[in-house]
Amino acid sequence: MVGLNDFVRQWQDTQQDTLEAVRRVGESGWYVLGKEVAQFESELARWWKIDHAVGVGSGLDAIEIGLRVVGCKPGDKVLTTPLSAFATTLAILRVGAVPVFVDCDRYGLIDLAQCEETLRADPGIRFMVPVHLYGHSLNLARLRELRERFELRIVEDCAQSIGAEFEGMRTGTVGQVAATSFYPTKNLGAIGDGGALLSADADLVTHARRLRDYGQCAKYRHDEIGLNSRLDELQAAILKHVHLPRLPLWTKRRREVAGAYRAGINNSRLAVPGSPTGSSSCWHLFPVHVAAAEVKSCFMDHLRRRGIGFGEHYPVPIPDQRALTDVKYEVRGSCEVARGLCATEVSLPIHPYLRDDEVETVIAASNEWSG
C-alpha cells in the first residue's frame, strides 16, 4: 500500500524531538499563549521573511481574521476562486462578505486576466482572497499590479504554498496578509489543528492578536467581537522545534518526487500539468488529469487495485456546493475551467516520507493504465 500521506513514518522520524517538546511545555505549566507561541511566531516570520506572524486555531480562522483586519465588512465583495478547499470561501462567508468567483486557468489557479476584467467592470470590489493551489505560486508580479491598480486589500491563502516562490518572491508577500494552515497534511503540518497569519503591517498584526483572543484589548476589556482562535503551546513547540527545522528537507523531497513523476509518467490518457511559468512550486499536491470525466472513476479503481492512495482536489467547484444554495455570491463569466478540472483531477501520493520504490510503483501503475 502506497499512502497519500504517511504520518506513521513521520512519527518514527520525529517522535524523540516531539516528546522532548511536549515535556518542555508540560513542565513549563503554561499552555495557552505563552513563550512557545511567541517564539514560533518569530521563527516563522523570520523563515518566511515577513515581519510578523500570529498563531491562530486554523487556516480557516487565519483567513477570516485576515479579512477582518484588512477592513472587510458584511456585504463587501471578495474576489476568489471556485477551485479550492471549501475553507477559502467559508472564511469570506463568516465575515458576512460576498464571494465573487472568477474561473481558474488550466493549472487550477485563479485567472488573473479575468480578475482584471472583473475589477474594471465592478470598481466596487476592494478585496481578494487568491489561493496558491497545489503549492503553485500565482504570478505575483501580476497580482501586485492588480493590488496597486485597483487598491485591493488581499489576503493570500498560502495554506498549500508554504515555501513556494514566483521568480524568487515568496507567496504571501504581495497581499497585506498571508494566511496559512498547519493541518497535519499541509507541508508544515502540526499534529492537530493550527494556522497563522503573517503581515508586514504592525497595526494589522496587533488587531489580529486581539481578534484571536475574544477581541480583548486588555484583560477582560472587550472593544470588539473576537474569536477564540489561539494556536496552543504544544503545537507551537512541535512546529518550532521539530517540524519547521525539517521543512527545507521536506520541501526538497516533495520537489524530487514531483520531478520523478513528471519525468516518468508517460501515458496519453493522463495529463501531467507541471507547474506554471515562473512558479517554483512546493508541491503540496500532485494533480494529474484523466482525458475525460467518464474515465475518472476507472483510473481511481485502477489505483485502488494497485494499492495506491489518491485524492480528489476538488471533486466539486465551490459555487456548486449545496451549502451555497441560500447564501449571497456572484459568479463572473462561467466556472467552466474549474468544472472541467474537478471532473478529471486525481491527486497522486506526494509527501516527504515517500520512498523511491513507492514513487516507481506509482509511475508504473500510472503508465500501465489503459483507460
Ligand X SMILES: *Cc1c(COP(=O)(O)O)cnc(C)c1O
Smallest distance, ligand X to C-beta of residue 163, A:
14
Q: Which of 151, 154, 127 is nearest to 140 (CA)?
A: 154
Nearer to ligand X by Cβ, of 156 and 358: the residue is 156
CA-nearest of 68, 77, 91 to 121 is 77
Point out the residue whose Cβ comes nearest to ligand X.
59
Choice between 86 and 353, CB closer to ligand X: 86
Instruction: Residue 240: count other Cβ atoms within 10 Å of its Cβ.
Output: 20
Q: Residues interacting with ligand X, by CB under 6 A?
A: 58-60, 84-85, 87-88, 131, 157, 159-160, 181, 183, 193, 195
Exposure of 184 by Cβ count < 10 A (0-12 exposed, 13-18 middle, 19+ buried)? middle
Least separation in angstroms between residue 91's CB and ligand X is 8
Report helix angle 112-121 to 140-149, nearest 10.
10
| Residue 76 cell numbers, joined | 463587501
Whether residue 58 contacts residue 193, with contact meaning beta carbons closer than 8 Å, is answered with yes
Looking at residue 152, its amino acid is L
| Closest separation in Å from C-beta 210 to ligand X | 20
Q: In the chain, what are the helix, strand and coil shares in percent, each to the nearest 5?
A: 45, 20, 40
Q: Which CB atom, from 132 or from 255, has the smaller least distance to ligand X?
A: 132
- Cβ nearer to ligand X, comparing 185 with 216: 185
Angle at CA 328, nearest 5°, toward 322 and 332?
Answer: 90
**Least distance between ligand X and beta carbon 85 (Å):** 4
Nearer to ligand X, 138 or 365 (CB): 138
Nearer to ligand X, 84 or 139 (CB): 84
Min. distance of Cβ 161 from ligand X in angstroms? Answer: 8
CB 59 to ligand X: min, Å: 2
Which of residues 60 and 272 has its CB atom nearest to ligand X in the complex?
60
What is the DSSP track for 64-119?
HHHHHHTT--TT-EEEE-SSS-HHHHHHHHHTT-EEEEE-B-TTSSB-HHHHHHHH
> CA angle at residue 259 from 255 to 265, to 5 degrees?
140
Closer Cβ to ligand X, 134 or 261, answer by number: 134
Closest CB 29 distance from ligand X, rounded Å? 28
Q: How far is the CB of 60 from ligand X (least distance, A)?
A: 3
